[in-house]
Amino acid sequence: MELEIRDDRQMRALTGVSQAQFAQLLLTFSEVYEAKRQSDYEKALQSGKRQRQLGGGRKSKLATMADKLLFVLYYYKNYPTFDVLGTQFKLARSKAHTQLYLLSPLLHDTLVQLGMMPPREFKTVEELTLALKGVEQIIIDATERPYRRPQDGEQQREHYSGKKKRHTLKNTVMATPQKVILFLGYTFAGHTHDYKMLKAELPPELDWFVGLSVLVDLGYLGLQSDYAGEQMQRPHKKPRKSRQQPDTCLTEAQKADNKALSQVRIFIEHAIGGIKRYNILVDRFRNHRDNFQDDVIAICAGLWNFSLAY
């Protein structure tokens, strides 16, 4: 392997985690890897497709567990092409491709086992309450990331974001003022409105936000009337100019309310910025593997929660 980590700064630059966090993550990753390896071996034996003993055959260029974890974290943090990734780890391009899609689900399972992965859906209000773990104030926002331009015309229209002026993917994010991501919605095409995504994942018919303090931005117009709850806060919107109302400035009280709200809402921006430390969410998404565009943002959110906890 070509990568040699000299200090903590370089470790963070290459993987997004510190050396201490890497060591902690490696313990559980190794357990998950060995359990999956043993399970696959036993299934192959039962099906008659395996003759060699466990561990037989050609040895991987990623010889150690640390190499394997470093490989997948390096990909997420830097998002190189498979040619570059293979060069860095002395692998052929095809082998780098294969290893990534083998190891990425194991990183996902590692974060699940550590309890760092945010829920992706809630079927009942009770599930949301359980996930909050006593938290009474939540912040909701949506995040957008670049996506390759689809060849199909209909998909181009679905993914084109008028706000970003490019093709994107979007997810709903729910976080605490401590920047912990409590919920990450599934991935939608970039043309989908923020509030439409929220209503699709948390239908207004249920009392999701009763007893909670909920902070949102101007993209969630209608939240206060559609959802039950007494503590839902949205910024005051500056009214449009008209002949009857040429002066559309907000009052001093409204400006003070908006400032107080923004001082708390900024923490979800920090959380979203935290998951976007990984360039796989910043560069135009190139991968074509089914559902991988959804898996990667979940893993990055889990890594962010892990960095806060450890």
Amino acid letter at 149? Answer: R
80 C-beta neighbours (distance < 10 Å), count: 16
Same structural domain, 25 and 155? no
Using the 3D structure, point to which of 84, 113, 142 is the last residue of a domain: 113
Q: Assess whether pLDDT exceeds 60 at residue 147.
A: yes
* pLDDT in the model for residue 60: 82
Average of per-residue pLDDT across 230-251 = 84
Same structural domain, 61 and 147? no
* 83 domain-assigned: yes
Q: CA-to-CA distance for 182 and 184, rounded, in angstroms? A: 7
Q: CA-to-CA distance for 27 and 4, rounded, in angstroms? A: 20
pLDDT tens-digit map of 169-202: 999 999 999 999 999 999 999 999 999 999 999 9
Same structural domain, 92 and 136? no
* 84 domain-assigned: yes
Q: Left, alpha or beta for 60 (phi > 0: left; psi -120 to 50: alpha)?
A: beta
Q: CA-to-CA distance for 257 and 296, rounded, in angstroms? A: 36
Output b/e per residue, 238-250; b: 16+ Cβ within 10 A: eeeeeeeeeeeee
Q: Assess whether pLDDT exceeds 80 at residue 232.
A: yes
* 119 domain-assigned: no
1: tokens are 């392997």
Q: Assess whether pLDDT exceeds 90 at residue 264.
A: yes
pLDDT tens-digit map of 279-307: 999 999 999 999 999 999 999 999 999 99
124: tokens are 């009942």
Same structural domain, 99 and 142? no
* pLDDT in the model for residue 120: 97
pLDDT tens-digit map of 203-225: 999 999 999 999 999 999 999 99
Same structural domain, 100 and 178? no
Domain total of the chain:
2
Using the 3D structure, point to which of 88, 113, 138 is the last residue of a domain: 113
DSSP string for residues in 233-283: E-PPPPPPP-SS----PPPHHHHHHHHHHHHHHHHHHHHHHHHTTSGGGTS
Same structural domain, 55 and 141? no
Q: Assess whether pLDDT exceeds 70 at residue 56.
A: no
Band (pLDDT 50/70/90 cuts) for residue 49 is confident
Expressed as residue numbers, the domain containing 91 is: 8-113
Same structural domain, 140 and 266? yes
* pLDDT in the model for residue 2: 56
Same structural domain, 185 and 221? yes
Using the 3D structure, point to which of 113, 144, 177 is the last residue of a domain: 113
Rounded alpha-carbon distances, angstroms, from residue 204 to 145, 223, 254 = 27, 9, 27
